[in-house]
Amino acid sequence: MRPFIPIFIVATSLATSAQEAKPTPTEELRVSVREWVETMRKIQVEENDWTRDQEVLRNYKEGLEKEIADLKEQIAAAKVRKEGGDQATIEKTTARDKLAAAKQELVGRLHGIEEYVFQKTRFFPDPLLKDAKMVQSMEDLQRALKLPADKQGEDVSKRLLNISNVLSEAEKYQQTVHVVDELRTDASGGEFKVQTIYFGLAFAYSVNEQGTFALTGRPTEKGWVFTEKKEIGPDIKKLIETSAGKQDPAFVKLPLIQP
Query: Based on the structure, what is the number of domains in the chain?
Result: 2
Of 124, 139, 174, which one is at a domain's C-terminal end? 174
Residues 61, 157: one domain?
yes
CA distance 241 to 245: 6
Residues 89, 130: one domain?
yes
* Domain membership flag for residue 140: yes
In angstroms, the Cα distances linking 202 to 8, 32, 51, 126, 138 are 15, 23, 11, 13, 21
The residue count of the chain comes to 259
Q: Please report which helix (H) or strand (E) contains residue 198, including its range.
A: strand 191-199
Contact criterion met (CB below 8 Å) for 235 and 250:
no
CA distance 108 to 69: 18
Does position 124 have pLDDT exceeding 50, yes or no? yes
Binned at pLDDT 50, 70 and 90, residue 48 comes out as confident
Residues 84, 141: one domain?
yes
CA distance 102 to 78: 12
Residues 167, 225: one domain?
no
Range of the domain at 58: 54-174
Name the maximum alpha-carbon separation found in the chain. Answer: 99
Q: Which is more confident, 218 or 243? A: 218
Residues 141, 196: one domain?
no
Binned at pLDDT 50, 70 and 90, residue 11 comes out as very low
Dump pLDDT digits (tens) for 170-221: 999 999 999 999 999 988 889 999 999 999 999 999 999 999 999 999 999 9
Residues 58, 164: one domain?
yes
Residues 81, 113: one domain?
yes
Task: Encode burial over 214-240: b for 16+ CB neighbours within 10 A, e otherwise.
Answer: bbbbebeeeebebeebeebbebbbbbb
* Domain membership flag for residue 37: no
Residues 58, 170: one domain?
yes
Q: Residue 156's pLDDT is what?
A: 86
* Domain membership flag for residue 245: yes
Of 124, 147, 174, which one is at a domain's C-terminal end? 174
Dump pLDDT digits (tens) for 50-65: 888 788 788 878 888 8
What is the average pLDDT value for the chain, to the nearest integer?
82
Task: Encode burial over 166-178: b for 16+ CB neighbours within 10 A, e otherwise.
Answer: bbebbbebbeeee
* Domain membership flag for residue 66: yes
Residues 94, 104: one domain?
yes
Alpha helices in the chain (DSSP H): 25-83, 89-120, 126-129, 132-145, 156-174, 233-243
Residues 235, 181: one domain?
yes
* Domain membership flag for residue 213: yes
Q: What is the pTM assigned to this prediction?
A: 0.61
* Domain membership flag for residue 258: no
Of 31-40, 82-91, 111-120, 163-172, where does mean pLDDT reach its minimum? 82-91
* Domain membership flag for residue 130: yes
Beta-bridge partners for 220 = 223
Q: CB neighbours of 258 closer than 8 A, spacing ≥ 6?
A: 218
